[in-house]
Amino acid sequence: MPLVDTHSVETAESAPTSRRALLASLIAAGATVAVAGRASAADEPAPTTTAPPLHSDADVATLNSLITREAAMVATYEDAKGNVSGDDLAVLELIEAHHKAYVQALSGYLGRKAGATTAPALMFTFNGGGYSNLAPQLAALESATAAAHIDALKTIQGLDAATLVASIITVEARHEAALLVSASGSVAGLASGF
């Protein structure tokens, strides 16, 4: 049986008409946190050093700091949702749900070694202006959160922890892009932010 690609290219007739649809199309493929499978030893050349451990107790503090950051993002989106409604609210609820999943995935990975899973919201200023004012601020927080995860990835020793954190970074970068595009309705401003 031939493989069938079920992804359809968006045309002018089928382009998203709301922020919710635009956001869903931008981050649909990266919304889940998954630990990717490892290559077998036969797939790689013989290592010259010892392979990294799958789990390392040295990663506990770093992963707990990421749990705190993700919990702060959850609290931030919870606060931000009070300033929007309709499709704009649906966008923020979707991204908040992703951050909740990251808190759960990281704390589940650590098990009993996991720290607090709540944190105060990060600072943002809402001076009116609706979603188009709020989304760029949230995008900046997404960027800072992804950067914190990238910095953490540099020190993580366990392969499973590194894989989990890397999967989160990818989606947070998509969050940033989706927020910027959905706030402006254009990809033109996106290139300047990178």
Please give the full DSSP string across 94-141, using - where no structure is assigned: HHHHHHHHHHHHHHHHHGGG---S--PPPP----SSTHHHHHHHHHHH
For residue 17, is it within any domain? no
Listed residue (180, 26, 27, 164) closest to 108, CA to CA:
164
In a domain, 23, yes or no: no
pLDDT in tens, 12-41: 444 455 555 555 555 554 444 444 334 444
pLDDT of 170 > 90? The answer is yes
Coil, helix or strand for 31? coil
In degrees and rounded to multiples of 5, residue 35 shows phi and psi of: -90, 115
34 within domain boundaries: no
Side-chain-side CA neighbours of 116 within 13 Å: the count stands at: 8
What pTM value is reported for the model?
A: 0.74
Q: What CATH number did the domain enclosing 107 receive?
A: 1.20.1260.10
Angle between helices 131-153 and 60-80 (to 10 degrees): 180
* 131 within domain boundaries: yes
Which residue range is the domain that position 61 belongs to? 53-185
Give the separation between CA 144 and CA 154, rounded to whole angstroms.
16
In a domain, 160, yes or no: yes
Assigned domain for 137 exists: yes
34 in helix, strand or coil? coil
Does residue 98 fall inside a structural domain?
yes
Residue 44 resides in a domain: no
- Total number of domains constituting the chain: 1
Lowest mean pLDDT among 26-35, 70-79, 113-122: 26-35
